[in-house]
Amino acid sequence: MNGQVFLRAQGLRKNYPGMTKPAVAELNIDLKRGELLGLLGPNGAGKTTTISMLSTLISPDSGTLNIANIDALQFPQRMRSMLGVVPQGLALYPTLTLEENLRFFGRLYGLSGSILRQRIDECSEFVALADMLKKTINTFSGGMKRRANLAAGIVHQPELLFLDEPTVGIDPQSRHQILANLRELNQQGMTMVYTTHYMDEVQQLCSRVMIVDGGTVLTQGGVTALLKQHKCDHLEELFLRLTGKQLRD
């Protein structure tokens, strides 16, 4: 199945009320099954809006979106069970245990009984939190919370996973663990869209990268090809050359 276009977005545009410029303008993406796309951009570049539109959380003002040959804008419910999200925030209930969180999100996706039990065990083991299932999230460290967040995003075994800066603010060990997890999931065939500010992560992980700013795509392609094309030594140099060095607060 790999190699087929799994997600196709054409002319996606989103304008928030009261804003003079669109958050995303004319976004075109073709994402193949099994691909891991790195979405890079400075703060306010439109990354989160892009992910929100691609995951059908928000509706674009114009454009089309097809996921697994389904018109995702017209029939979002038909393909939501194959989507997973790991949002930028914690996205878990801090006063519930990890098991209760995973059970809740699993149930929301229709899992039950032994299958749900199995998935809870697998996911907690996958993110190295099997011995923390009975602990409440608010007792977790920052890195554990991020790993728990990933576990909640994959408990229903999505085919397409959106990750919005999943490693922000954690120690190198947890970051290493999460990256290893993502690589493994990708090798198992999971398609991913990954946003981050860490260029090294993208360089390690992603088969393709897209740099956006001001709501438009500045460039996209394989990491090596892009570096060669723009005559840059590393991704950060390319990123700064395309987006500028002025501060984005």
Partner 1 sequence: MIPSLLVQTWAVFVKELQLLRRDRGGLAVLFIMPVVLVLIVCLVQDNILKVSGATTVKLLLVDHDQGALGQTLLHQLEEGGSFSVTRVENEIDSPKAQHDVGDGIWQVGVYLPVGVSEELSRRAFAQIKQGFSELSKQEKLSTPSPTLTIEYFFDPAVQGGLQAGIRGLLHQLVASEALKLKMDAFQTLLPAQLERHISAELGPMFAQVLAQKPLKLNLPDSNEPLLQAVLANNEDKFTMPTSVQHNVPAWTLFGIFFIILPLSGVLLQERSHGVLPRLLLAPGQRAGLLIGRLLAYLMLCMMQFAIMTAVGFYVLPRLGTDILQIGGHGGALFVVALCAGLTACGFGLLLGVIAQSEQQAIMTAAVAIVISAALGGIMVPVYMMPAAMQTISVISPLGWGLDACQVLFLRGGTLSDIVPQLSTMLGCFTICLLISWRKLRHLNG
Interface ranges with partner 1 (CB under 8 A): 14, 16, 49, 52, 55-59, 77-78, 80-81, 83, 85, 87-96, 100, 104-105, 107-112, 136, 152-153
Helix/strand/coil for 56: coil
CB of 154 to partner 1, least distance (A): 12
- By beta-carbon proximity to partner 1, the closer residue of 72 and 238 is 72
In sequence order, the 6+-apart residues with CB closer than 8 A to the CB of 31 are 5, 6, 7, 8, 37, 160, 191, 193
Angle of CA points 106, 174, 108, to nearest 5° = 10
- By beta-carbon proximity to partner 1, the closer residue of 95 and 224 is 95
Token readout for 79 is 């393909």
- By beta-carbon proximity to partner 1, the closer residue of 57 and 232 is 57
- By beta-carbon proximity to partner 1, the closer residue of 94 and 189 is 94
CB of 6 to partner 1, least distance (A): 17
CB of 80 to partner 1, least distance (A): 4
Work out the burial of residue 92: count CB atoms within 10 Å of its CB; fewer than 13 is exposed, 13-18 middle, 19 or more buried. Answer: buried
CB of 207 to partner 1, least distance (A): 25
φ, ψ of residue 47 to 5 degrees: the values are -65, -50
